[in-house]
Structure 1
Amino acid sequence: MENKFQFAKKLIREAGDFIKSNMVNELEIEEKTRFDDLVTNLDKETQELLIANIKQVYPDDHILAEENGVHHNITDGNVWVLDPIDGTVNFVAQATHFAVMIAYYENGIGQFGLIYDVMTDLLYSGGGQFDVCVNDKKLSPFKDRPLNRFLVGCNANMFASNYHGLHDMIEQTLGVRVYGGAGISMAAVMAGQLMAYFSYIQPWDYAAAKVMGEKLGYVLLTIEGKEPDFTHRQKVMFVPKAKLSTIQTYLSKT
């Protein structure tokens, strides 16, 4: 497992370098489901780079990835979960606040995850048997304090509509932050900058954080408190185990 982990850390930085070296070129931008659901040629090319490298070294492993319908059952064998550019809208509009994400699962059990904040050169990695680090500096487990001493990350629409009482709960905290990318947001949770994150995301958006978060005292569940199914987009929460029951008292009001 150590060899695979080190391979993944090297590969994700190579993907980040590939993105940065090609950002100077004009992007080909497509709309997927609607005008703010974007994909670029660089998303696709980065995914191709990741898959080609994995298949060269581990030809019998499987891939679950965001682009081009590359799907595989997370419970079936050795599965790499890839998000080549998480936060594509940020990438297109701001050229920052985006991440490359890789997770590795064996028969549905997460072995390690990686979130690489490309433009700040911060690599969050670990989970399973590995310590969770940012650029090889070990992260501390969740440190509890009152709700009113935390910030919370949340999907803007879920916050505005008070979905399952989220607005009511966040009003008990120092406020909401909306970063526009699941990876960047959940990295901020693990770094202790946010208490929790709530959003409507796909398996490749949460696979890496789920593995790493478990090592630091966090759980990733659906808003209803169930395990995500890794098959489709779901409304999820990435929250400290120590705060789960408190958070659920607010979510259960609706």
Structure 2
Amino acid sequence: MTGHDTTGAGLPERAVRELAAATATLVADHDVIGSITSLLHGCADSVEAAAAGIIVTAPGRGLEFLAGTDHRAEHLELYQVQVDEGPGVDCVAGRRPVTVVGLAQVAARWPSLLDAFLAAGFDGVHAAPMAWRGQMLGAVNLFFDSKEPRGETALVAQAFADIASLVILRNSPLAAADIAARTQAALADRVIIERAKGVIAYIEDLSMDAAFDRLVMMARERRHPLTAVAASVVDQAAGESSPR
């Protein structure tokens, strides 16, 4: 679960603070996955969601998982992409937000996802569309456990979804082919991060969740982009395993 604010700040104040931090990524050099992951954590914390994830449209391949705050979100995102059913799928297809609260409603709308929601401990979800000038890029999905989405959730989530679109497509305007290339590059970055997580999990005997936390901490300590740190981890492991 993402960490909750313990300062007593209300939802609007928390949302403003996290949105300001997310917007700051647009005026500085950034790597897409690192910025998106940080943005997701901020979004989840803003609306007191248990976890968050993003799926994006991949040219010629439909929807693909891009990033998540933890493995529960990642597993659910991957599963809904696999079965082509779920909040993000409906959000992208319908080009509008989707909110479902309660396991009964989850089962009624997406029967194949009920077990996945149960396993993750989620009982509600809100999906916000990511779009660029009418072209659907994907969806930000916020998962809830014991808390229902508040009235402000849709507004805050959409603001984060819009920023996520800008993070991927910062140098605008872009042609459709350029948008596809940017999305594909972001997905390639995710592959590098997944490899680095595996390396860290193996070397340090950690779970994949803990390995990801370790990778994020390394990036913060070194003040380098998350993807760059992931690539260095993978390269170092490959060098140590190569014949001498």
- Please identify which structure carries the higher strand content: 1
Q: Which TM-score bucket, shorter chain as reference?
A: under 0.3
Q: What TM-score results when the alignment is normalised by the length of structure 2?
A: 0.26
User: Which structure ranks higher in relative contact order (CA pairs < 8 Å, sequence separation ≥ 6)?
Assistant: 2
- Please identify which structure carries the higher helix content: 2
